[in-house]
Structures are given as C-alpha cells and as structure tokens.
Amino acid sequence: MIEDLPGWINIVFLLTVGVTVLMFYYANGSRKEILTGLIIWSASQSFLALNGFYLITDTFPPRFILVLLPTTILIIISLLPTYRAKLSKDRNRTVSTFLHTVRIPVEIILFYLFINKMVPELMTFEGRNFDILAGLTAPIVGTLILTRRASNGLLISWNVISLVLVCFIMINGILSSELPFQQFGFEQPNKAMLYFPFILLPAVIVPIVIHTHLTELVILIKERNTAYNNANGLLGKQAHKDIHA
C-alpha cells in the first residue's frame, strides 16, 4: 500500500470496487460464476500488488500486461455470437446504466491521488479526464430508462460517448505509467495503479465499465435492427394488401 496516503482514500476506493462488482453482478442475471470469478480475479491482483510485483517496471514484456491482457481477452470473448443471446436475456439495463455512477467517486479519488503526487494532473478532471461526465449523467439516463422515456438512439449515443471517455483516460493512464513505453507524466507519473488497492482500477473497475458499454451497444444495435426489420416487414405486408385490394 502507499505510505502516508490518508486512510479514507483507500477505504472509499475499496467500497467503490465492491459496489461496482455487486452492480455488475446484479446487472447480468445475478450469476454466481460472475461474482466468483470477479472475487478470485480481484484477490489475485491484490495479492500481486501487495507483494510489490508490479513495482518492478523495467521488465519486458511489462508485468502490467497481466492486468490488461486477461480482461481484454474476456471482453472480446463476451462479444462473440455464442454469448450474445444469453447476454441480452440476462441484462438489466437500468442497473447496468446506474453502475456508471461509480465513476464519480473514482474521479474524486484520482484527484486526491494527484494531490498526493501519485498520479499526474492529466488523469484528473483538472487535466484530460472528462470521464466524470459519464458518471454524472448516468443517473439521468438511468431514470429515463426507468420511466421508459429513453430512446434507442439516445442510449446508443450516450454509451458511445461514455465509452470514448473511459478509453481515452485509460490510454492516457497507461502512457503515464512508469513503463517502457511511457509518453506522459514524467514529472509526476502514474504510480498509484501499481499499488494495492488502486491496481483494482485498471484490473476490475475499468474493464467492467468498458464491458458494460460494449455489450450494451451490441444489445441496443440488435434491438434497433430488429425494430427496423419489423417495420419494413409490416410495410411490405401492407403494400402487398394494397396491390391485391
């Protein structure tokens, strides 16, 4: 853990991780394998970080790839056609949308990590990080879904914009870390993500957020295409009746 860091920052962050995992669990059919997998993954990454595994940054390939590669592979697998039907059936759109409110405490924590010289300013809302906008708008979009006033187009647009925001700061965060390919933040690099509990930001929270956006977009686009095809089918039947009238 990071020495001399106020204890409340660690506590708030761990609570945020817990809320993220639970909301993801409930948003995807409350399947036990999801919760079990996330607990095992979080525990293994926490163990490595607590033992200083990621603090050794001069290896090639970088050890940090053990955070990024497994989650990337799992996200890609979840987008394959085999899993799409189950995904659509299990997804609770309201919960999956409200899940993104966790981005608000994450941004506040990043700001305090910057004050404590553990991340560069560019990773905060005072720099290049506008991801808090997704967190602030999530309750609005979630309420529109609850009241059935959210159109398919609105949800697609919001998910695309929010996905771009999280991917943008994720890339900046990686390129600001003390890794062989560092590009930014040389005066004050992104060191916090190499320590427990903040390793769980790139290992758990960010992959969950990205996965939720991508899978929601797959579902929304499928719904739009189905509605379009159904509308064309009805028009075709009506035209056929008119011809034979």
| pLDDT band (50, 70, 90) for residue 238 | low
Q: Please list, residue by residue across 71-86, b when 16 or more beta carbons sit within 10 angstroms of its beta carbon and e when fewer do.
A: beeeeeebeeeeeeee
What is the percent of the chain with per-residue pLDDT over 70, rounded to a whole number? Answer: 95
Tell me how far apart the alpha carbons of residues 57 and 63 are, in angstroms, rounded to a whole number: 7
pLDDT tens digit sequence for 79-89: 988 887 777 78
pLDDT of 200 strictly over 80: yes
User: Are 84 and 215 within 8 A, CB to CB?
Assistant: no
Tell me how far apart the alpha carbons of residues 141 and 162 are, in angstroms, rounded to a whole number: 12
**C-beta neighbour count of 66 within 10 angstroms:** 15
pLDDT of 234 strictly over 80: no
Tell me how far apart the alpha carbons of residues 116 and 217 are, in angstroms, rounded to a whole number: 37
Amino acid letter, residue 84: R
Instruction: Give pLDDT, residue 88.
Output: 76
Instruction: Give pLDDT, residue 90.
Output: 87
**Lowest-pLDDT choice from 40-54, 68-82, 105-119:** 68-82
Nearest 5 degrees, angle CA 174-CA 180-CA 182? 45
User: Residue ranges of the alpha helices (H) in 176-205?
Assistant: 200
Closest among 36, 5, 57 to 196, alpha carbons compared: 5
Arithmetic mean of pLDDT, 106-118? 97
Dihedral pair phi/psi, residue 114, rounded to 5°: -65, -45
Instruction: Give pLDDT, residue 86.
Output: 77
Instruction: Give pLDDT, residue 235.
Output: 62
Please name the helix (run of DSSP H) or strand (run of DSSP E) that holds residue 131, with its range, or none. none
pLDDT tens digit sequence for 10-40: 999 999 999 999 999 999 999 999 999 999 9
pLDDT of 179 strictly over 90: no
Using alpha carbons, list the distances in angstroms from residue 74 to 174, 176, 241, 244.
19, 25, 49, 53
Closest among 168, 141, 146, 174 to 156, alpha carbons compared: 141
Mean pLDDT of the chain: 93
Pairwise pLDDT comparison (156 vs 241), residue with the higher score: 156
Tell me how far apart the alpha carbons of residues 142 and 40 are, in angstroms, rounded to a whole number: 30
Tell me how far apart the alpha carbons of residues 18 and 36 are, in angstroms, rounded to a whole number: 13
